[in-house]
Structure 1
Amino acid sequence: MPQLNPSPWFFIMLTSWLTFSFVIQPKLLTFVTTNPPSNKTPTAPNTTPWTWPWT
């Protein structure tokens, strides 16, 4: 069964993984902007309790 022979497929997988990791990924990460941290303090939401009609 040729599927069990990892010789050609391992090299292809390793080459594609290294290409993605070292060439494509840094180019893609230059386009992605991260959200800057905000200095706002978190506020608790103003909620009102639910009034159940049967209580």
Structure 2
Amino acid sequence: MPQLNPAPWLAILIFAWLTFLLILPPKIMAHTFPKEPTPQDTKTNKHSSWAWSWP
């Protein structure tokens, strides 16, 4: 029964993972987003404490 022979399937598995780990990540990371996020202001806002309306 050919499905019990692990030799070709092990090689296919190893080559598939090598493809995923070595070839695809640089291609995916090379993509740029059309709108880069802008940095927010670093100043802190002072918040006043909220007065409760009941005693």
Q: TM-score, normalised by structure 1?
A: 0.50
Query: Structure 1's 45 and 11: CA in aligned 2 closer, same or farther, altered over 3 A?
Result: farther
CA distance in 1, matches of 2:53, 2:25: 57
Alignment partner of 2:46: what SS? coil
Q: TM-score, normalised by structure 2?
A: 0.50
Q: Which runs of 5+ in 1 are unaligned?
A: none
Query: 1:46 corresponds to which residue?
Result: 46
Amino acid at match of 1:21: L
Query: 1:22 corresponds to which residue?
Result: 22
Task: Encode CA deviations 1:18-49: one digit per residue, 9 max, x unaligned.
Answer: 1111111101111146x6xx6x8721122121
CA distance in 2, matches of 1:13, 1:19: 10
User: What fraction of aligned residue pairs are identical, expressed as a percent?
Assistant: 22
Please give the root-mean-square deviation of Cα atoms over the aligned residues, in Å.
2.9
Q: Which runs of 5+ in 2 are unaligned?
A: none
Greater shift in the superposed pair: 44-53 or 10-19 = 10-19
Amino acid at match of 2:54: W
